[in-house]
Structure 1
Amino acid sequence: MVAPTNLEFFETLTLALFQQLYQSFPVPIDIDPMKLAYSFLPENVEGEDGLRLFGAAEHTVAFLKREGFIEHGDMHLDDGTYVDVSLTSKGLLVMDSMPAPLSGSSTVAGEIRDLLGEVAKDGVKDGVREGAKRIITYILTSASSIMSAS
């Protein structure tokens, strides 16, 4: 299997991270980006591609914090785990929003749950990548309008 691009991997990891944080909300959890990345690495990805994707996982957490979707405490330098990670009000509002252009479930959280259920069954296939891209595009483009409407 061909290794995903950084953007494809970011989209999948973001959905998985949002789902974990939504399920634990309001209780913060610890997140190990390497473990999260490993759970979505395609079989037979190694070497430079593996290192690239593990790096993308760390940068995914940093991006989501910088954009105001999540917050976290310190990072443990010994294992790279971020402590006390939780959704911000912006992240929670996006997860609870009802995206008309998306299919099926009534909220973004439901869409993510359904899509990640497909990943658990079949792995990250092209249809799942398209679904992830659609959800991430919705999240990133609608976050400001959702925040101003609340």
Structure 2
Amino acid sequence: MTNIEQFDLLTGILLGDLYTSFPVAIDARTDAYLEQVVPPEDGEAAFNFVQVFTSTVRWLDQYGYIHIEHDYSTLDCYEFKVSLSEKGLHTLRKLPKSLQSEDKASIGDMFARGAKRLADGVATKLVMDAVDFGIQAGIERI
């Protein structure tokens, strides 16, 4: 499993969790997401997951999709208290451009249903849509 595949799946699962809990912040721990993202037989991806996890959380914060309210990380445990930002909420309420959904579910609704259960490539398309919507929201404010 590549880093970008892990990023897409982790982003979908994390944003789905945040969308479901909004406006309440959640504790995002490496061990809670490892089993959801990396298949048990992929030892290399599991070994690198801490770096992918922390980099993904920090990237989502840096580009305004989430807020890191507190970093509880230690040498043996990586944990963040995170909440959905206004940009993140606005993005997740959008209808996906890349998929035709009969029930008109938003990106957030689809992630909340379970990014891991989405068909191959769907989580990636939804993450791409979410990033595109976030970029557009930033351009519109300039």
TM-score (norm 1): 0.80
Q: Of 64, 67, 74, which residue of structure 2 is paired with 1:68?
A: 64
Corresponding residue for residue 122 of structure 1: none
* Alpha-carbon distance in 1 for matches of 2:100, 2:83: 26
Corresponding residue for residue 136 of structure 2: 145
Residue 24 of structure 1 and its aligned partner are, at CA, apart by 0.6
Whether the aligned pair in 1 keeps the contact of 2:98 and 2:126 (CA below 8 Å) is: no
For the pair 1:37 / 2:34, whether they are aligned, the reply is yes
- Alignment partner of 1:101: what SS? coil
How many aligned residue pairs are there? 136
Residues 114 and 103 of structure 1, relative CA distance in 2, 3 Å threshold: farther
Unaligned runs of 5+ in 2: none
Corresponding residue for residue 83 of structure 2: 86
For the pair 1:49 / 2:45, whether they are aligned, the reply is yes
Residues 40 and 49 of structure 1, relative CA distance in 2, 3 Å threshold: closer
Identity percentage of aligned residues: 23
| CA deviation vs aligned residue, 1:36-72 (integer Å, no higher than 9, x gap) | 12322112222x4322123111111011001100002
Structure of greater relative contact order (alpha carbons < 8 Å, 6+ residues apart): 2
Residue 115 of structure 1 and its aligned partner are, at CA, apart by 5.3
- For 1:82, give the aligned amino acid: F
- For 2:108, give the aligned amino acid: A
Q: Of 10, 13, 17, which residue of structure 1 is paired with 2:14?
A: 17
| CA deviation vs aligned residue, 1:15-50 (integer Å, no higher than 9, x gap) | 00001001110011111133212322112222x432
Unaligned runs of 5+ in 1: 120-126
Corresponding residue for residue 124 of structure 1: none
| CA deviation vs aligned residue, 1:56-103 (integer Å, no higher than 9, x gap) | 1111101100110000222113322112x1110000000101234322
* Alpha-carbon distance in 2 for matches of 1:60, 1:81: 13
* Alpha-carbon distance in 1 for matches of 2:64, 2:89: 11
Within 5 A, what are the aligned runs for 1:120-135? 127-128=119-120, 130-135=121-126
TM-score (norm 2): 0.84
Residue 8 of structure 1 and its aligned partner are, at CA, apart by 0.4
* Alpha-carbon distance in 2 for matches of 1:100, 1:49: 30
- For 1:63, give the aligned amino acid: W
